[in-house]
Amino acid sequence: MMASPRDEVFTTVAVINGEIEFLDLHLERLNEHANRLDIEINVPNFQNFEDGLVRIAFSGNWNYEHRSFPMYKPKIRAIYAKAPEFEDSVMGTKHGHWQPYHEAKIQANAQGADISLLVKDELVIDADRASPILLDPQGIAWASDERNGSVRSVTFGALIGLFTQNGIPIQFGNITKKMIEKCQELIVVGTGMRVAMISHIHTQKIGNGTHRMLKMCQKFLEVR
């Protein structure tokens, strides 16, 4: 039986030196998504997790799944894939029918790529497990607007101040394939992937060789 999106709400956190990274941002999003999914939650005091990634989910009870950090890759390849579609109140939440996102990752791996960029109505709205951020020729960083069905990135939320401090304006809006073709740089950010630069989409080379966003985010997230 297919899982219903409203059966579960979840978030995946990084635990580093015994501390949950960006906990307040995760709790804010978890509560917001639970409300949109009509799930009543009472968030406990999360603690005593081992270092690694922990999937925190509520489906009547709290469940925790721990796994080790994946091997860090600073440069990755991507493909385009069709974005999963749900009703408006579900789109953009971390919900109980997450299988289409797992399948998008499998689809990318089967084609020799690392990640799928998810396309809806000709717009790149998300990736299968991270959020795409584009640096355009004018030096503006673009992230997909949540109204397009994008999942709000906790990691990018923590990075926003860093972008503005380094003179990179941020614009939430529509990311098109044509914008990607002309961009200076395309990265993805997320709890598990940290930050990675997309070098190719299918066989097309992406970016002009600048690593500005990648290096800035690597330093902040303490990855090399």
Annotated domain spans of the chain: 5-67, 75-221
Second CATH level (architecture) for the domain 5-67: 2-Layer Sandwich (3.30)
Per CATH, the homologous superfamily of domain 75-221 is D-amino Acid Aminotransferase, subunit A, domain 2 (3.20.10.10)
Query: Do 5-67 and 75-221 share a fold?
Result: no
The dihedral through the CA atoms of 64, 218, 188, 111 has a sign that is negative
Token pair for 107: 């689809």
Question: What Cα–Cα distance (Å) separates residue 174 from each residue in 87, 90, 141?
Answer: 20, 20, 12
Give the pLDDT band (50/70/90) at residue 79: very high
Give the tens place of pLDDT for each residue, 169-224: 999 999 999 999 999 999 999 999 999 999 999 999 999 999 999 999 999 998 74
